Structure 1
């Protein structure tokens, strides 16, 4: 299992759509947008390599240093099988 944490979603969105528009969008929307694009590209690349599996965007799970912390509101926001 792999865990990927995106830490600069607002900056990526700002670079793509501009600082003014990024300032109008909430950070949670930025994170969801970046996660959805990454999931789409990840599935495309892994499928091209012949790999099969599942990928999910999960809320309530935190990667802190070398530990994984589970919060009270743990839920899967998006799940894809490839």
Structure 2
């Protein structure tokens, strides 16, 4: 299993849509938007290589160094099979 933590969602959104629009969007929307785009590109590239599997965006998990912390209310926000 692979865990990927994106830590600069706001900066990515700001670089794509501009600082003003990024200021108007909540960080949670920025995070979801970037995660969705990363998932889309990962699925495209992995499927093109013949790799089959599943990928999910999960809320309520935090990667902290060597520790994986699970929080109350953990849920799968998006799930895709490829």
| SS in structure 2 of the partner of residue 68 of structure 1 | strand
The aligned length equals: 82
Which residue in 2 is equivalent to 1:48?
A: 48
Distance 1:41 1:62 in 2: 22
**Counterpart in the other structure of 1:57:** 57
User: Which TM-score applies when normalising by structure 1?
Assistant: 0.99
Question: Partners of 1:65 and 1:73 in 2: how far apart?
Answer: 22
In the alignment, the residues of structure 2 paired with residue 71 and residue 21 of structure 1 have an alpha-carbon distance, to the nearest angstrom, of 30
What CA deviation, in whole Å up to 9, does each residue of 1:8-53 have, x standing for no partner? 0000000000000000000000000000000000000000000000
Q: Deviations over 1:36-79 (max 9, x none)?
A: 00000000000000000000000000000001010001000000
| Structure 1: 5+ residue stretches without partners | none
Q: TM-score, normalised by structure 2?
A: 0.99
2:79 — aligned with what?
A: 79
* 4+ aligned runs moved over 3 Å, structure 1: none
Q: Secondary structure at the match of 1:5?
A: coil
